């Protein structure tokens, strides 16, 4: 009962902290600041948003894929809409079946993670995966693995 009460009492503080980090306060990494402001929080219209990319989650996926421009993509779970959005954002990306070897991995909500992917990303945990910079809002986790990035975790409102 005390953990539930603690969660209820700290909820406003966590929301305020997420809003501050989402605006760029306490973000010291230039990559993270650029990613938060110009990819996750981008509100400018794009020509294909009106016709082909409808929902907010699809728009965010389009911006993330367009920003990274992956050469290989792996999909885990039922993700027909994600395949369509990734195909629009990066038409040259080749789809492969092994998520451990892919440059970009999309995990559909509620799908089980493959064993090789679970080793890389600590099994659906929004905690910090090893050697990755993570951005989460509590429901969605975006993990960026690059050798030049420090392992940091950002809790945002997006």
pTM of the model: 0.70
Q: What is the spatial distance between Cα 83 and Cα 73, in angstroms, rounded to a whole number?
A: 9
Q: Which of 59, 32, 42 is nearest to 154 (CA)?
A: 32
Mean pLDDT of the chain: 75
Reduced to 3 states, what is the DSSP secondary structure of residue 64? helix
What number is the average pLDDT over the span 51-79?
Answer: 84
Looking at the predicted structure, is the pLDDT value of residue 122 above 60?
Answer: no
What number is the average pLDDT over the span 12-27?
Answer: 68
Instruction: Look up residue 46 and give its DSSP letter.
Output: -
pLDDT for residue 94: 92
Q: How far is CA 87 from CA 13, 48, 70, 91, 95, in A?
A: 39, 12, 11, 5, 10
The C-alpha angle with vertex 29 and arms to 82 and 107, in degrees rounded to 5, equals 20
- pLDDT tens digit string along 22-57? 566 667 778 888 888 888 888 787 777 778 888 888
Reduced to 3 states, what is the DSSP secondary structure of residue 88? helix
């Amino acid at each position: 009962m005390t953990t539930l009460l603690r969660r209820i009492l700290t909820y406003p503080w966590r929301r305020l902290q997420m809003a501050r980090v989402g605006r760029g306060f306490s973000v010291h990494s230039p990559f993270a600041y650029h990613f938060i402001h110009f990819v996750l929080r981008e509100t400018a219209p794009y020509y294909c948003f009106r016709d082909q990319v409808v929902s907010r989650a699809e728009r965010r996926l389009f911006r993330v894929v367009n920003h990274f421009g992956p050469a290989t993509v792996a999909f885990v779970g039922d993700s027909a809409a994600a395949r369509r959005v990734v195909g629009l954002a990066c038409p040259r990306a080749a789809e492969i079946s092994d998520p451990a070897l892919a440059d970009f991995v999309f995990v559909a909500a509620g799908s089980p993670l493959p064993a090789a992917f679970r080793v890389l990303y600590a099994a659906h945990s929004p905690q910090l995966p090893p050697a990755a910079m993570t951005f989460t809002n509590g429901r969605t986790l975006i993990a960026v693995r690059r050798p030049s990035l420090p392992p940091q975790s950002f809790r945002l409102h997006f």
